[in-house]
Amino acid sequence: MKAIRIHEFGGPEVMLMEEVPIPEPASDAVLVKTYASGVNIADCGIRKGGNAILRPLLKLPLTLGWDASGIVDKVGDQVTAFKKGDEVFGVPTFPGDGSYAEYFVAKESHLALKPNAISFNEAAGVPLAGVTAWNGVIEYGKLQPGQKILIHGAAGGVGSLAVQIAKAKGAYVIGTASVNNLEFLKDLGADEAIDYKTQRVEEMLKDIDLVFDASPIRDNNIRLKFVQILKNGGRLVSSQLDFPYSEEVKTALSAKNVEGSLVRLQNYACLREMAELIDAGKIKVVISKVYPLEQAGEAHKENEAGHVRGKLILEIIKE
């Protein structure tokens, strides 16, 4: 099968299209014929060698891509939830070879049946960003109906899904983006949209129940502003797992009795709940561009420029 692999860490040029054997699923895993793969900023980070936590787990050569949709080709002995021919979406086994390839393997627990209402390309834009958004807003954020949430970086892959998940849960949603994306946030259902470049959240907001930072920018100074706008006993959840809170942020959190957390992906069962919300028309998937598999390098360059609206997709099979 064809796959985009890296043999060394580095820039987009280290990604090579190669011919490799089709993988075999383990007993608790599923082999999926890939229709589309999502591109995530995390893929770019892994291409560059990851961080101190990830680096020891990354074995070369490696096929990139941890976000995909496709059709089940083969299931392991212990798999009961899926059978050959099922249309699925989910997160390929990590660390291990990913979905920039004609087939990928995923644990049964990291897959769900694809929503009927959307295409394979759209479905490939949901899993990793959606599981991150769901875990951030619902599992760590414990968002309740009627509460006020600020989502920072609301126009990106994680942010655009977080806005819609929070709305579907009955929250009052405020999102930040640059000026070109403010209308887009309103279209997603945000009640308010703030331009993070020209407006200051700390002068506009107070008594917020939950701040979810879904931006790709690592910045402890803006976290201090988030603590300022949170109510006493509120929650600050950051998607940036590799960027711990500074001592200054920790002091500010405890002075205000705010719980601060970094999102770990612990609940993948939410893929099923997101599929239901998608089929009910409550979540739409925004694809900004579809690239053919061989242009994965171009997709990485666009993602790393930092302003993708929604998702970038690699199309492996045209529907």
Ligand X SMILES: NC(=O)c1ccc[n+]([C@@H]2O[C@H](COP(=O)([O-])OP(=O)(O)OC[C@H]3O[C@@H](n4cnc5c(N)ncnc54)[C@H](OP(=O)(O)O)[C@@H]3O)[C@@H](O)[C@H]2O)c1
Please report, as ranges, the residues that interact with ligand X according to CB under 6 A. Answer: 40-42, 128-129, 132, 152-153, 155-159, 176-178, 181, 196, 214-217, 239-241, 263, 265, 303, 306-309
Measured from the CB of residue 314, what is the shortest distance to ligand X in angstroms? 15
Continuous H helices in 169-263: 182-188, 201-204, 220-229, 247-255
Residue 247 is encoded by which pair of tokens?
């001592």
- Kindly tell me the sign of the dihedral angle through the C-alpha atoms of 10, 16, 21, 25: positive
Measured from the CB of residue 140, what is the shortest distance to ligand X in angstroms? 10
- Return the number of the residue (92 or 216) whose C-beta is nearest ligand X: 216
Measured from the CB of residue 225, what is the shortest distance to ligand X in angstroms? 12
Q: How many residues does the chain have?
A: 319
Q: How many Å apart are CA 39 and CA 193, to the nearest integer?
A: 26
- Return the number of the residue (178 or 295) whose C-beta is nearest ligand X: 178
Surface-to-core class of residue 53, CB atoms within 10 Å of its CB (0-12 exposed, 13-18 middle, 19+ buried): exposed
Measured from the CB of residue 238, what is the shortest distance to ligand X in angstroms? 8
Strand partners, 291: 314
Q: ω into residue 95 within 30 of 0, thus cis? A: yes
- Return the number of the residue (164 or 181) whose C-beta is nearest ligand X: 181
- Kindly tell me the sign of the dihedral angle through the C-alpha atoms of 259, 261, 266, 270: positive
Measured from the CB of residue 191, what is the shortest distance to ligand X in angstroms? 17
- Return the number of the residue (69 or 176) whose C-beta is nearest ligand X: 176
- Return the number of the residue (88 or 161) whose C-beta is nearest ligand X: 161
